[in-house]
Amino acid sequence: MIKWFDELRGRNQLLFWTGLYFLLMSVYCLIQTIYSHESILGTSIYLKPLKYFTTLFLMSWTIAWLISHAHSKPVKKFVPVLASLPMVVYSAIILLQANRSTTSHYNISTPFDTMMYYLMCAMALLFLISVFVLTFSFFNQRKIKLSQHYTWGIRMGLGIFFLSLLVGVLMVILGKHSIGGPDGSKGLHFLNWSKKYGDLRVPHLMGLFSLQIIPLISYYWFKTKVQVLTFSILYFVVFLAFLITALLGLPLIP
């Protein structure tokens, strides 16, 4: 395990330490979720930061591992910065707003809240650009010193991951994540996905984890490019089905 950590840190120092910070903050938020009795919209004020810090921890270390395979020096130099900075600022605002006992997303109730929300949007756009650059780099790179099936696992994982970020853009445009009704309706335990309306967070989350799932399965399970592409297409179809279901205003689980 120590050897693996050394390997990860060697692949990209910035993303390694950023991910470690997110991991520690996840533990902090988990403890606060257990012991704090404050709530927003019926859930602990620290539940949302917990989910974000955990997701960003996985993102940081996954990108740190994958980016070492990129040949472009500018990509290796600038993408970690363009990815780390937005993630840190974005998550810090979420935690700040939680500590203020208010919401972070779509909150334009006061000048300060509006400023924080638009700063979050700017950080999300910067992160989107960094992921696009990384994704384009892997699809454009012809010679990668990896097996063909693993290479395509990385490409497809990044591709669907990028599409999930576009779902996030859609939520920003709409100013909410629920389709067919307002945000804040009764949701599933922990995930808090709406049980009454369509919820864009469902395909968004599924797409986010394609960054880990598809490359991992491609590396450990599949042996050919065809197997990887077949699984990736099936994954995309499920992602698309969840997205259409949400857009129709239908909950995943009523």
State pLDDT tens for residues 11-37.
999 999 999 999 999 999 999 999 888
SS3 category, 39: strand
Residues 6+ apart with CB under 8 A from 64: 8, 11, 12, 15, 16, 19, 80
State pLDDT tens for residues 153-201.
999 999 999 999 999 999 999 999 999 988 877 877 777 888 899 999 9
The pLDDT assigned to 64 comes to 96
Q: Percentage of the chain with pLDDT > 70? A: 100
Helix, strand, coil percentages for the chain (3-state, nearest 5): 70, 5, 25
Cα separations in angstroms, 45 against 24, 41, 218: 18, 9, 37
Residue 59's pLDDT band, with cuts at 50, 70 and 90, is: very high
73: exposed, middle or buried (Cβ count in 10 Å: 0-12, 13-18, 19+): exposed
| Residue 133 predicted with pLDDT over 90 | yes
- For residue 253, what are the β-bridge partners? none
State pLDDT tens for residues 227-253.
999 999 999 999 999 999 999 999 988
